[in-house]
Structure formats: structure tokens, C-alpha cells
Amino acid sequence: MSSPEGLVDETVSPDGTVSPDGTGSSDGEAVRGGDGPRQERRQALEAVAAAALSAVTVTVAAATLHAGPLVGASAGPVTLVGCLGVAAVTPALVRIDIAERRLPNVLVGVTAGAWGVSTVLLVPGGGIATAATSLAFALVAAVLGLVAAIAGGLGMGDVKLGAVLTGLVATGSPAALLGLWALAGTFAVGVAGVRTFGSRSRRVGTPPRPELASVSRGIPFGPCLLASFWCVVASPSVAVAVDAVVTVP
């Protein structure tokens, strides 16, 4: 908008930042580009976390190579493909779901693609029944998740991620599959309890933040699913390590 003299109006925000379009700036970071280093640090931390999870996957595969299947699938490249795919996107999924209550399709698609490749790799080794079991349990998880989503208990991102993670662990013992969802539910209940306690202990008189109202509702179930998945993945190597310590002469 222009003034009668033909000059462009300028709006000054409370911190002195001038906005030529009249919208202002709350902190001036957008003008100064101050969010750049923060975003770079965040990306670096996510890369480190993904590398750490990948290292855990490789370590677990090596520890269980001679002790039985890892998360139910055949040890080796078949298992690594699926777990490494999940490891690559776990940090970003956790951050986004906590901050925005959503799981981007592109990131969930990475996990689905890794699971699909790992399932296909089972076939040449004679694991057709195992691959069929993985697909069947993933389908069951998707249908049940869709029912829960319609009832308002889950988001569609949670449904998709839950189906993929179910497919990855379903080829193992029933304990792995039950452990995935039992731990996810336990983590979700724990998060709900912490949030409830925090809201009750919040200082009276704190001004509300309407812009965060839509984000603050609900429990971020994606991180709960991912945490339980990695607990299930790590459990075989933990058992091997404990057995090795116990049997040391």
C-alpha cells in the first residue's frame, strides 16, 4: 500500500524491524537470515542420529548373525535394508511429529520402500512364506489403524508408519510383534501422563498461544512407534550380550 505522496508504507515491528509490506517481523530473524545456522545445526544433529541408528542396526545384525534371525527376518542384507531405511528418516520423523503433529508422506515412503525391498529380497532365498506373512500382517495393521483413524484415535501418518513397522517385525516371533505395539502403547500413555502433569502444574496466568492450539492437541504417536521399533530391533543383540557375559568362564 502506498501513501498519498507515492511512498511505500513501512511498518515497524516491536523490535524495530521494518517491513516494507506492512506485515512486520516478530523477531527480525527472517530479515537477518538468523534461522540458517539453526537449521544447519538441526540437520547435522539429524544426520548424526541417523548414522548412530544405522550403526546400531549393523551392530545388531553382526551380533545376531549366528544367534538367530534379527527382528524375525533373515539376518544380513535383507534385514539391513529395512532397518537402515527406517534409521535414515527416524530423526526427521520424530522432530516433525513432535513439532507439527504430522508424518510427511515422503519420509514414511522411505520406510515403505525399504520394507518393500527387504520383502522382495526374501523371495530368492526361499522366503516366499515369510514375505507373505510380512505383507499380511502389514495389511492387518493398516486396516485396524484405518478403523482407529476413522474413530479419531490415530492420524493417517501413524497408520502408514505403523503398517510398515509391523511388516518389518512381523516375520519374527510373536513376541517381536506384540512388543512393538505394547511398547508403543506404553510410551504413548507415558507421554500423555507427562503432558497432563505438566499442564496441571503450569503457572497460572500464562498467556495462551492460539497459533499453537492445533499443534498442541493429541499425542505424537510416531515417535512412540519408532522408539518401540528400535527397542525391538536392539533386543536380540542385548540378549546375545547378556548370554555372552553370563557364559564367560
Residues 101-127: what's their mean pLDDT? 90
Residues 95-111: what's their mean pLDDT? 94
Residue 137 CA neighbour count, 13 Å, CB half: 25
Residue 234 has pLDDT above 60, yes or no: yes
Kindly report the pTM of this predicted structure: 0.73
Read off the DSSP letter of residue 16.
Answer: S
Q: Is residue 64 a contact partner of residue 236, using CB atoms and an 8 Å limit?
A: yes
Residue 236 has pLDDT above 90, yes or no: no
Residues 18-38: what's their mean pLDDT? 49
Residue 54 has pLDDT above 60, yes or no: yes
**Which pLDDT does position 59 carry in this prediction?**
74
